[in-house]
Amino acid sequence: MRIIQITDLHVGTPEERPFDIDIRANFIKVLKAAKAVPHDLLVISGDLCLEEGDLAIYQWIKQQLDDFQFNYLVIPGNHDDKEMMVSTFGLHQQLQKGALFLTSPDDQPPLVLLDSGPGQVDETTLSLLQEYLQAHPAPICLFMHHPPMKMGVPFMDNKHALRNREPLLSVLTEHSYPISIFTGHYHVEKSMRWRNLDIHITPSCYFQIDWKKEDFAVDHHNIAYRYINWDGETLEHTVFYV
């Protein structure tokens, strides 16, 4: 399965240009780059909207994805509205017990997309994840918005980290096989290995922050996507700046 991940679009209204960035142009630019790469699935891992969920913005994003004819899946970030996204992107079938929890068909490599948009992974999602991992004794590829642990990025670790990291890590590390986790949220490119977990932060389509500083600082405005090739046993991935 060839997957392209983009994250942290932060699309606003047509008039909004925060930091003098044309965010909508950034989105179109990364879509054009992604479309040129043979792939099976596009994953957008949260923060589609600039500040908060906006129906008109979701509708515009969906129109662009449909115009480019992407096969795509989306999950919320902390700047999103899950209910609006479910309605706009037709995710009703991916709701399980009210939780947005997406998995690949059994004839495809194990793939999970889960919702950490509220800044934590709720009890229902934790239960669904535990059940899925128990039923799939194999390596897993997982997408979520927030990294499941602190990543050595002081500003984000101290102010915007996932709140209930310990219960999630307990579920993940109970799995006897490797889990490759692809996230966004931090606006950096960074990776960490801990126990059976390989965690990779994909850069934003908005701007990247200086990962070394305690206070917020923009590092650069280069945007990127991640290409992932996952066959259930072997996983390779690369970040491409566009």
CA distances from 134 to 173, 174, 189 (A): 12, 9, 31
The answer to whether 202 touches 45, Cβ cutoff 8 Å, is: yes
- What is the rounded average pLDDT of the residues 126-137? 97
The token pair that represents 14 in the structure block: 């047509």
- What is the rounded average pLDDT of the residues 103-118? 95
Q: Helix, strand or coil for residue 76?
A: coil
223 closest CA partner among 200, 241, 239: 241
The mean predicted confidence, pLDDT, of the chain is 97
CB neighbourhood size of 135 (10 A): 11
d(CA 41, CA 44): 10
Name the pTM for this structure.
0.97
| pLDDT of 34 | 97
209 closest CA partner among 10, 76, 25: 10
Q: Helix, strand or coil for residue 210?
A: coil
